Amino acid sequence: MNHAAHSLLRPARRHAFVQLTRLSLLQAIPALQSGRQVAPTALGPNPPPDGGPR
C-alpha cells in the first residue's frame, strides 16, 4: 500500500476521510438525478422494437 493511502486509513484521519466521502456522495446525488432526467431527451426517442419506420 502506498504511503498516502496508508495515512488516510490511520484512525486519526479515518473519521475525516469518512466525512469527506459522505459529503461527496451527497453532493453527487443531484447531478446524477438531473443527468438521468436529461439523457432521454438528449438521446432522442427509442427506435421501434421491430426496426421499422416510426
pLDDT class of 46 with cuts at 50, 70, 90: confident
How crowded is residue 17: how many other Cβ atoms within 10 Å of its Cβ?
13
Give pLDDT tens digits for 5-18: 767 667 778 888 88
- At 51 the pLDDT is 64
pTM equals 0.50
In 3-state terms, the chain is what percent helix, strand and coil (to 5)? 70, 0, 30
Q: Mapping DSSP to helix (H, G, I), strand (E, B) and coil, where does residue 53 land? A: coil
Judged against a pLDDT cut of 70, whether residue 19 lies above it is answered with yes
Judged against a pLDDT cut of 90, whether residue 1 lies above it is answered with no
pLDDT class of 23 with cuts at 50, 70, 90: very high
